[in-house]
């Protein structure tokens, strides 16, 4: 018997829309190395200390009356005191000038390493070597200038070296301030060496 119902075509399967492409994860910025930031700050501080120490030392000039000529009307004898009258102070200015130039160059290099994460790893060994070298130069200059400044302040009765700071007070104040700032520069260099060694120790696989 013929079927009374019309043959209906089978329904087509519903087309499932393809899933939307997963959104690409946002690019994560490389974590900033805080040791590199500290390195840049310390090198800027070293540059500032070096410049201040040199400027204060170079401007240390004072002229005072140290005696009178035995002629009427006993004309006074003026004697200036300058930093370039002492080889120790000349060496001090030269050493701190080198430290200032070095700190300026390494500050720029360290800042570029801050912008390129991972690049600082190649610089740390070089920084350690040159930081130690500059530390030795600055420390020796600070000690040399400090020793001469102490003799100027206290004198030395054993070798008949008279003190001069009772006459050239402003000159000695400049010298003392310059040596003090240089001592801060030496401490900053020590911190830079410790920071570089610490950063290297973190790179060593355990």
Task: Tell which wins on pLDDT, 81 or 31.
Answer: 81
Predicted local confidence at residue 126, as pLDDT: 83
Residue 89 lies in a domain: yes
pLDDT category at 90 given cuts 50, 70, 90 is: very high
**Helices 34-58, 169-203: crossing angle, 10 deg rounding:** 160
Cis preceding linkage at 73, omega within 30: yes
Residue 175 lies in a domain: yes
- State the chain's mean pLDDT as an integer: 81
* Long-range pairs, 81-86, Cβ under 8 A, ≥24: 81/164, 81/168, 81/171, 83/57, 83/58, 83/175, 86/148
Give mean pLDDT, residues 164-187: 93
Residue 13 lies in a domain: no
pLDDT in tens, 7-44: 555 555 555 555 554 444 444 444 456 777 888 999 99
d(CA 169, CA 171): 5
Residue 75 lies in a domain: yes
Helix residue ranges per DSSP H, the chain? 34-58, 87-115, 120-154, 169-203
Out of 13-17, 85-89, 188-192, pick the least confident.
13-17
pLDDT in tens, 104-160: 999 988 888 777 766 666 777 888 899 999 999 999 999 999 999 999 989 888 888
pTM as predicted: 0.77
Residue 59 lies in a domain: yes
DSSP label of 84: G
DSSP label of 75: -
Q: Domain range holding 38?
A: 34-200
Residue 92 lies in a domain: yes
Place of tokens 């200015």: 93
Under the phi-then-psi rule, with left for phi > 0, alpha for psi from -120 to 50, and beta for the rest, what region is 84? alpha
Residue 49 lies in a domain: yes
Predicted local confidence at residue 68, as pLDDT: 63
Residue 19 lies in a domain: no
pLDDT category at 6 given cuts 50, 70, 90 is: low
Predicted local confidence at residue 12, as pLDDT: 57
d(CA 169, CA 62): 8
User: Are 96 and 141 a contacting pair, CB within 8 Å?
Assistant: yes
Task: Tell which wins on pLDDT, 28 or 205.
Answer: 205
**Short-list 148, 44, 60, CA closest to 106:** 44
Total number of domains in the chain? 1
- What 3-state DSSP class applies to 128? helix
Identify the H or E element spanning 201: helix 169-203
Predicted local confidence at residue 1, as pLDDT: 46
d(CA 60, CA 173): 8
């Amino acid at each position: 018997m013929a079927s009374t119902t019309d043959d209906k075509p089978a329904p087509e399967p519903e087309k499932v829309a393809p899933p939307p492409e997963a959104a690409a994860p946002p690019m994560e910025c490389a974590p900033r190395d805080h040791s590199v930031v500290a390195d840049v700050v310390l090198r800027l501080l070293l540059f500032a200390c070096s410049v201040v120490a040199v400027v204060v030392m170079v401007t240390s000039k004072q002229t005072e009356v140290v005696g009178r000529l035995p002629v009427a009307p006993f004309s006074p004898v003026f004697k200036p005191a300058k930093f370039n009258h002492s080889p120790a102070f000349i060496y001090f200015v030269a050493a701190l000038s080198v430290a200032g130039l070095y700190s300026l160059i390494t500050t720029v290099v360290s800042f570029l390493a801050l912008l390129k994460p991972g690049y600082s790893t190649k610089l740390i060994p070089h920084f350690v070597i040159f930081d130690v070298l500059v530390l030795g130069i600055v420390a020796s200059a600070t000690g040399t200038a400090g020793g001469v400044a102490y003799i100027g302040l206290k004198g030395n009765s054993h070798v008949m070296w008279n003190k001069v700071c009772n006459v050239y007070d402003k000159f000695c104040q400049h010298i003392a301030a310059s040596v003090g700032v240089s001592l801060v520069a030496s401490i900053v260099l020590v911190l830079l060496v410790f920071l570089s060694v610490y950063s290297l120790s973190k790179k060593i696989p355990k």
